[in-house]
Structure 1
Amino acid sequence: MANSSDEEQPTTPSPHYDNDVNDDECHPNSDAAAADEAQHEGEEPDAIPNPTVEREAFIICEVNRNRVCIPLKVRLYQAALKGDWKTAKSIFDIDSSAITMKITDADETALHIAVAAKHIHFVENLVDLTSSSALAATSGEGYTALAFAAASGVVRMAKVMVDKNSHLPDLHDLYIPTPVLMAVAYERKDMASFLFSNTNFEALLPSEQIKLLIATISSDYYDMALEILKKKPELARERLQNGDTALHVLARKPSTIGSNRELSFWKTSINSRFPKIYHTALMQTLAHQIVERLWNFVLGKSTMLELHEFIKHPTRLLHDAARVGNVEFLIILLRSYPNLLWKCEDEGKSIFHVAVENRQESVFNLIYEIGGLKDILANFHDKQKQFNMLHFAGLLATPNHLTKVSGAALQMQRELLWFKEVEKLVLSSHLQMKCDPNLELFEVTITKDRVDKLTPRELFTKEHEQLRKQGEEWMKTTANSCMLVATLIATVVFAAAFTVPGGNDDKEGIPIFWQNKMFTVFVISDVAALVLSTTSILMFLSILTSRYAEKDFLVSLPTKLLFGLLTLFVSIACMVVAFGAAFFIAYDKTKTKIPRAIGTAAILPLGCFYLCHSRLVVDVLRSTYWSIFSFGYPKKRLF
């Protein structure tokens, strides 16, 4: 919701002033005009008129009129822009026509400017002086002041205008959006709710109704969208000019549809304490209800041929949802009409082929919920071009999917996981199937240079060669940096083991403070730091000497990196503990708080290391170990 304070001044139209001014907009009261009039009064009746003198006098009069009117417009514009009601009121007292005067080249009035600048008190005072019919005045582009208020989001300004003229929400030109549509498009939720309750929805054209419905869906105003559908359910089959329906728009919104059509008890109970969480859950539940309502209407009111045309144009409905990972949308549609599973593209692409192509695990996992049908659907392929599901897994993922994990090496690992998983489903004959050159598929264009009679494995190797090189470089850079730190730690703690705090006894050669409890802590932590840092060095050295074959990126390299990072982190922690213990042994007798303060401050390097590398450690853990739970575990959501 936009801030409604008078001080906030958004970008407003630049002041443009008309060069041609009508007689009814300004008063010709200038001194020059008065003198000219007096001169004519003094002429004799039978004087011969001089055309040249009269034309010059007319020109002087018109120029003087503009000199008076243009400063008037400037003053009024500036007053409206700044919210200076005192100046504006003085202008209106002199010339009441200035209330509705067009003061810019865009034919905007002072009310338009004040509303755009969000000056509430100025607008309220100006509306009091304006007649109800004058509130419907439009700018040169056809926008009323209420339309400007709708875009601003200040409900108070809109309410004062609607209270004076209740027809304003319904007034708009044919090619200009309604005020409520503008509020929705600008994502002004409170304004949209107010205007929707004051708009005669039934009076809108069908094209305006479907625009409003789809706009509410695009802005995630599902409560309003549900109200629209209750008023006119047949909008489920209406289309925009580009062919989109409400279902097509919802199919492309993956994170807005909840898994349940009703809020659970615990989500309802947290309303008072966590309103944002509750609102998100509520909108997801309403989105679920909207999808069900739309789809049930389409199913109930369409013939088989009409249904097929509906889901195919302008784009394939299920493929749009699969492409963005909108699994809840797919579940709702497939539950009520399972035959949609067999709807494929002309190239033999099912929703599961699209899921593999776009690396959507949640959609792909639905294949494990359809029983034996998965063996048939997984092996659909373009018989002419010989392009099967495993070829899609062999293609390089788009950058937005690759960047879900950090580092080229982990991205390569993710790609290998996908290829291995799809490889389990396809027939053995598909492993050696070679696709034809000059292959064009959906959003992926394969030229002859890119794919020339390649098997899925050959395609994977060719597509991922650059990523493999980047992963090798990333691994070596990371290993070199971490090994340097581990080497420094090993050097420090090794030296500390023979230069114990307090020194050794001259007679027996044993440490002087060996009976001190803190000395035991020092010894244990120092030895642990040495062992762990040495282990870390060996792990990173193993990474540097690896072959960097494709299969090494799957488990071997990520495991070594993870183990190296963890041992390095723990060795830093042990070194910090050893430092703190040594400091306490040496300075504890001073009986001051300085040793404790300095010992505590030594934890700072540990925190820095955690903040800098925690994301990498989590990504390695998730990609290497947790990813095994990403595939092949049906959740029984479909049937």
Structure 2
Amino acid sequence: MDPYLYEAATGGDVSFLRRIRDGDVLLNHDLLLQRTPKDNNILHIAVEFKHIEFFRQVPNHYSSSLFWAANKKGDTPLHVAARVGCVEIVEFLIDQAKALQIRGADEESCHRKPLLRMTNLEMDTALHVAVRYGHLGVVVLLMEADPELCCLTNRADESVLFLAAMKGSAEIALYLLNESPVCPCFRGTNGVTALHAAVTRSTLTSKGIVRTMVSKNPEMTKNVDALGWTPLHYAAFRGNLEATRVLMQCDSSASYILDNSGMSALHVAAHAGHTKIMKELILLRPDICDLLNDQGQTALHAAVLGARVNVVEYILKTPELAAIINEADKDGNTPLHLATLHQNDKIIKVLSGDRRVDMIAINKEFSMPADMFLGDNIGEQETIRRAMVLDNLGCSVGVPFFQQQISRDFDKLEPLEKDTDKIRENQLRARPDDRNALERDDTKLLVATLIATVTFAASFTSVPGGFKDDGMPILYEKAAFKVFQFFNAASFYISILAIYNESTPITVLSIHLPTPSSLIQYSIGGMLSSL
């Protein structure tokens, strides 16, 4: 584009256009039709700066070529005016569309409407653009000129009402719903409607937009998106209590609709941690607590999978939901099984603290909750945290756990001679961390053994003060000697316990013992106290 022409458009130099219009300047015929690299003409540029006078001074024989020309993105000057929110230029272009005539055609049907409905490469009309950028004044002008614009969708299948809901533009949404002579289109991307979008915005709900949408199009409450979610699913997910009430009052049967995974709105609310939504759903449809997803899981399963302690506590405190406390899914897993599988200590504590929870329920793999908590750590020393959790579970383990433990224990005690080389090879290939762990274990055993040896000798062969002729210690009746004997004996027994705990595979009894490191520290403390 000619630099002088570009500067005139950006600066709004209307005197340049007046001279061309009045014939005072002899210019190349194509000068005003020049484009930028983006294919913008002078009006695309002028509208960015809201130069309305620049539009009014365009020579008549250039008007149709400039007013409705599209750039590389398919945007006309009207699209740009809608984006920047210039009401004056939008109104001017609407008037130009009305005045434009085509020979042999009706002006109303063939000129104004098609021009206002021109779309860009994304199939957006100027109304789509105005709604997307939140310009209510432009929306009003375009809707007054062509009310049916609110029925059009773009390439992404987005209607203008859907865009208003997604943007949270309450004023625009209310205008489209209440002022349009035709019912606006609700459609949106991937089956998500304007109602789906509105229930996720508390501001739209509080201003009565959800209620207005439902009253104008009550069938929308059961529309599902690509995931199979209804507006009620979305309201439950977002925790929008007011929207949930509006939807349930319109048609509470929507609460029975399951998504593509078999999840009801109750499942979604439980997974998201919204107990108030659950109460509202159960209040109007008490039997929805019996709904199961494709895995045969209840709302309590969903709460456990969502790590929602508050929902688990709510369900346990609600008498109407007592029937689902121990209900198993298709794999035979109760909610407690899932809590232990995912090692959620808080939920395990809450569930195991309720007497109604079956602590020894067996799933289809014949595993109890404690088995699933231990997982791949069978035969390994458990941490104090695991010991506390297993204490909550009652240390109830199933048959497979014991069988696997027995197999591992016997394999360790009686390795076949032909496997000796393989075992040695595996040890050599062990990761540095594993080798370091083995070395630390050996060191612990050595220290514990030395402590046991020293304390044993101190009690029977190297007693302080020596012995009398009758074999009794000389200091037997002294208080200090009794203190020595107590701490020395304690140190001896604790060191023996440390040796046992370090060298013996985990059992139901040993998981409650402190770690070997702690026991060794206690035994050393006992030795020092006896000095």
Amino acid at match of 2:292: C
C-alpha separation between the residues in 2 aligned to 1:389 and 1:176? Answer: 41
Amino acid at match of 1:240: D
Partner of 2:288: 340
C-alpha separation between the residues in 2 aligned to 1:550 and 1:80? Answer: 77
C-alpha separation between the residues in 1 aligned to 2:57 and 2:126? Answer: 22
After TM superposition, give the deviation of residue 362 of structure 1 in Å: 3.1
Partner of 1:296: 252
Partner of 2:126: 145
Q: How does 1:16-165 map to 2 (within 5 A)?
A: 69-71=33-35, 73-92=40-59, 95-98=62-65, 100-131=67-98, 132-133=112-113, 134-165=115-146
**Contact 1:323–1:355, Cα closer than 8 Å, also in 2:** yes
Q: Could you report, residue by residue, the CA deviation over 1:564-609 in whole angstroms, capped at 9, with x for unpaired residues?
A: xxxxxxxxxxxxxxxxxxxxxxxxxxxxxxxxxxxxxxxxxxxxxx
C-alpha separation between the residues in 1 aligned to 2:137 and 2:311? Answer: 46
After TM superposition, give the deviation of residue 124 of structure 1 in Å: 4.0
C-alpha separation between the residues in 1 aligned to 2:384 and 2:66? Answer: 67
**Contact 1:247–1:291, Cα closer than 8 Å, also in 2:** yes
Q: How does 1:377-416 map to 2 (within 5 A)?
A: 377-382=324-329, 385-396=331-342, 415-416=344-345
Pair 1:155–1:467, CA change in 2 (3 A) = farther
Q: Could you report, residue by residue, the CA deviation over 1:474-526 in whole angstroms, capped at 9, with x for unpaired residues?
A: xxxxxxxxxxxxxxxxxxxxxxxxxxxxxxxxxxxxxxxxxxxxxxxxxxxxx
After TM superposition, give the deviation of residue 325 of structure 1 in Å: 1.2
Q: How does 1:600-639 map to 2 (within 5 A)?
A: none
Pair 1:99–1:353, CA change in 2 (3 A) = same
| Corresponding residue pairs, total | 347
Q: Could you report, residue by residue, the CA deviation over 1:432-452 in whole angstroms, capped at 9, with x for unpaired residues?
A: 857739xxxxxxxxxxxxx99
| Among 315, 318, 323, the residue aligned to 2:262 | 315
Amino acid at match of 2:126: A
C-alpha separation between the residues in 2 aligned to 1:357 and 1:170? Answer: 42
Partner of 2:193: 211
After TM superposition, give the deviation of residue 235 of structure 1 in Å: 2.5
**Contact 2:48–2:84, Cα closer than 8 Å, also in 1:** yes
**Contact 2:177–2:212, Cα closer than 8 Å, also in 1:** no
**Contact 1:341–1:350, Cα closer than 8 Å, also in 2:** yes
Deviates more, 1:287-296 or 1:199-208: 199-208
Higher relative contact order (CA 8 A, sep 6+): 1
After TM superposition, give the deviation of residue 323 of structure 1 in Å: 0.6
User: Do structure 1's residue 243 and structure 2's residue 228 form an aligned pair?
Assistant: yes
**Contact 1:319–1:351, Cα closer than 8 Å, also in 2:** yes
**Contact 1:170–1:178, Cα closer than 8 Å, also in 2:** yes
Q: How does 1:485-634 map to 2 (within 5 A)?
A: none
After TM superposition, give the deviation of residue 349 of structure 1 in Å: 2.7
After TM superposition, give the deviation of residue 174 of structure 1 in Å: 8.5
After TM superposition, give the deviation of residue 193 of structure 1 in Å: 1.8
Partner of 1:356: 304
Partner of 2:212: 227
Amino acid at match of 1:69: L
| Among 189, 192, 203, the residue aligned to 2:170 | 189
Pair 1:175–1:348, CA change in 2 (3 A) = closer
After TM superposition, give the deviation of residue 206 of structure 1 in Å: 8.2
Q: What is the TM-score when the length of structure 2 is the normalising length?
A: 0.54
| RMSD (CA atoms) | 4.5
Q: What is the TM-score when the length of structure 1 is the normalising length?
A: 0.46
C-alpha separation between the residues in 1 aligned to 2:226 and 2:295? Answer: 28
C-alpha separation between the residues in 2 aligned to 1:85 and 1:207? Answer: 34
Q: Could you report, residue by residue, the CA deviation over 1:191-231 in whole angstroms, capped at 9, with x for unpaired residues?
A: 22222223355474889997222222233422222112112
Pair 1:237–1:324, CA change in 2 (3 A) = same
**Contact 1:247–1:295, Cα closer than 8 Å, also in 2:** no
Pair 1:171–1:347, CA change in 2 (3 A) = closer
The unaligned stretches of length 5 or more in structure 1 are 1-26, 35-63, 258-284, 300-306, 398-414, 438-450, 470-548, 553-639
Partner of 1:366: 314
**Contact 2:195–2:210, Cα closer than 8 Å, also in 1:** yes
The unaligned stretches of length 5 or more in structure 2 are 1-20, 99-111, 387-509, 514-531
Pair 1:435–1:65, CA change in 2 (3 A) = farther
Kindly name which structure, 1 or 2, has the bigger radius of gyration based on alpha carbons.
2
